[in-house]
Amino acid sequence: MKISPGSFEVDLFPEEVDSPDHPYAAQFREILEGVAREYACTLISFEVDKGTVTFSFNSDELTAEILQILNRSD
């Protein structure tokens, strides 16, 4: 079993978006899967709970890139 290098939890949608099958969540998942293809990796988890999205990839490189973006201050 491969262990996830890191998970991200983002408050992204209104609380009514409470399922990965919701159209907003499904569209976001497609975006994440496209990013995974660009990095030749896989989206290994994707959950939605009351507007909060939790996801992870099996790529240390992509995880590091996302952390850099999230840590940038404006």
pTM given for the model: 0.84
- Torsion angle, alpha carbons of 43, 45, 17, 9, to 10: -100
pLDDT in tens, 39-61: 999 999 999 999 999 999 999 99
pLDDT reading at 4 higher than 50: no
Position 21 confidence tier, pLDDT thresholds 50, 70, 90: very high
Give the integer Cα–Cα distance in Å for 8 and 55: 5
Q: Looking at per-residue confidence, does 67 or 73 come out higher?
A: 67
Torsion of CA 20, 15, 73, 32, to 10 degrees: 10
Whether 54 contacts 8, CB under 8 Å: yes
- The answer to whether the Cα torsion of 7, 10, 13, 14 is positive or negative is positive
Q: Is 69 a residue whose pLDDT tops 90?
A: no
